[in-house]
């Protein structure tokens, strides 16, 4: 039994949800998202989105929870938005942005310059005595996660000193190093 799939999705004020054949379109103040679906029935009634499955087969049970979660993420994204913050830990690691270009100095011979998708707003925060932070904001949760993972992949945190790019609040597994 899908516990996630059975929960209705409340539609906040200012958000519209349309269901056409096998496509759900969600519009809100921050943007518009659409997702195609199969194997489930989607209904919009009384300010709620209901996702129902036609049978109790394994495939329908799996898609039931999946599509409910995707639709809930879309509704939250167009109403509130999604944010990911990355922290650069290391001596000399810097981040700056010029519009949609992110410039990272991560200890390589050259800086890494990355073009960010126009749907994602980027902000770099550099305070003296603190690690630089890259803040990504968008209405699309999948896109924010993908861009954040790409940036983190340039210099993953290493287990001995913890240097690298990590998510804010991420717990790293540390190793002891050499013993005398």
Q: How many residues does the chain have?
A: 180
Section 129-148 average pLDDT: 96
**DSSP 8-state class, residue 59:** H
Tell whether the model's pLDDT for residue 1 goes beyond 70.
Answer: no
Evaluated on CA atoms 115, 123, 84, 173, the torsion sign reads: positive
Tell which residue, 57, 26, 25, has the closest CA to residue 40: 57
Which CATH code is given to the segment(s) 82-167? 3.90.930.12
Q: What is the pLDDT of residues 62-105, one digit of tens each?
A: 999 999 999 999 999 999 999 999 999 999 999 999 999 999 99
Rounded to whole angstroms, the Cα distance separating 154 from 165 reads: 8
Q: Mind giving me the DSSP string for 79-147?
A: HT-EEEEEEEESTT-EEEEETTEEEEE-SSSS-EEEEPPTTSEEEEE--TTS--EEEEEES-HHHHHHH
Residue ranges of the chain that CATH labels 3.90.930.12: 3-79, 82-167
Task: Kindly indicate the confidence band of residue 137, based on its pLDDT and cuts at 50, 70 and 90.
Answer: very high
Rounded to whole angstroms, the Cα distance separating 178 from 180 reads: 7
In contact, 34 and 22? CB cutoff 8 Å: no
Section 173-177 average pLDDT: 90
Section 119-147 average pLDDT: 95
The pLDDT of residue 135 is 97
* Coil, strand or helix at 151: helix
Q: What is the pLDDT of residues 14-66, one digit of tens each?
A: 999 999 989 999 999 999 999 999 999 999 998 999 999 999 999 999 999 99
Task: Kindly indicate the confidence band of residue 3, based on its pLDDT and cuts at 50, 70 and 90.
Answer: confident
Q: What fold characterizes domain 3-79?
A: Outer Surface Protein A; domain 3 (3.90.930)
The pLDDT of residue 2 is 59
Tell which residue, 102, 99, 118, has the closest CA to residue 154: 102
The pLDDT of residue 179 is 80
């Amino acid at each position: 039994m899908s516990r996630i799939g059975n929960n209705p999705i409340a539609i906040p004020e200012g958000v519209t949800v349309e269901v056409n054949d096998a496509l759900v379109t969600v519009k809100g103040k921050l943007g518009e998202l659409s997702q195609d679906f199969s194997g489930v029935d989607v209904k919009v009634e009384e300010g709620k989105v209901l996702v129902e499955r036609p049978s109790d087969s394994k495939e329908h049970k799996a898609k039931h929870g999946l599509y409910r979660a995707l639709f809930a993420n879309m509704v939250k994204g167009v109403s509130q938005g999604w944010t990911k913050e990355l922290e650069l830990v290391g001596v000399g690691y810097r981040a700056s942005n010029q519009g949609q270009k992110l410039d990272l100095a991560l200890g390589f011979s050259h800086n890494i310059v990355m073009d960010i998708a126009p749907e994602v707003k980027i902000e770099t925060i550099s305070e003296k005595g603190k690690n630089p932070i890259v803040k990504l904001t968008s209405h699309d949760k999948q896109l924010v996660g993908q861009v954040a993972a790409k940036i983190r992949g340039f210099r993953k945190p290493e287990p001995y000193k913890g240097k690298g790019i990590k998510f804010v609040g991420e717990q790293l597994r540390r190793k002891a190093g050499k013993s005398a």
